[in-house]
Amino acid sequence: MFETERLTVAPIEDEHLNDLYLVYLSNPDYLRITEGITDGMGVYTRDQMLRDLQVAEWTGRTPLGVIRQEDRKLIGILEYWERSDTDGMPWLGLLMIHRDCQRRGFGREAAERFLRWAAERGWPEVRLGVVEDNRAALSFWRALGFREYETREKRFPAGVKQVICMRYETAS
C-alpha cells in the first residue's frame, strides 16, 4: 500500500497473525477500554482477533499491517474505511503499535504517511473516533492536526462509550 523510511504498511499475511495478536495483547489499556478485559493474556483470544479481522473485511474496512522494514516484523495495525457506511467519508478505524515499539515515532510515521496517501487518493478529509477515556490517543491525534467535531455514543463489548469524532482536512 505505502512505505515510509522505516515502515511498510501492507495487507496482513498469515505469517504475521501471531505478531498481530501480540500487538493487541501488548496494549491492555486498549483491550480494557474496548473489550472490557482487565487481565490481558488469555482473555482476548487469537480466535477473537481473527473474528475481528473477518468482521472488518465484511463491513468494508481494510486492515493493514505496520511492518518494520529492517526485520520485516509486524509491529502494528492500521485499519481504514475508504467510505464509511454511516456518512460516506473515509475513516481511520484503528492505529495501534506494539507497546515495545511505542514512543519511537512509528505511530506518527505511519499516520502521517497514511494522511499523505489519503490526499494522493483525492480524499478531502479523514475522520476517526477516539473513546473519550483514551486521553493518550486524543493527544496523539490532536498533535497530528485532527480537530473534534462531535461526540457520539458507541456500543463496545466493554459497554456504551462516548466517542469523540475528529477530522483532518487533507487539502489545506
- Mind listing the pLDDT tens digit for each residue in 106-152? 999 999 999 999 999 999 999 999 999 889 999 999 999 999 999 99
Residue 2's pLDDT band (cuts 50, 70, 90): very high
Q: How far apart are CA 85 and CA 65, in angstroms?
A: 23
Per-residue pLDDT at 144: 97
* All domains of the chain in start order, with CATH: 2-123 (3.40.630.30)
Class of residue 7 by CB neighbours under 10 A (exposed 0-12, middle 13-18, buried 19+): buried
Please give the pLDDT value at position 31.
Answer: 85
pLDDT confidence band for 171 (50 / 70 / 90):
confident
Which residues, at least 6 apart from 168, have a Cβ–Cβ distance to it below 8 Å?
Answer: 115, 125, 126, 127, 128, 144, 145, 146, 147
Residues 69-86 have pLDDT tens digits of: 999 999 999 999 999 888
pLDDT in tens, 16-25: 999 999 999 9
Residue 27 has pLDDT above 80, yes or no: yes
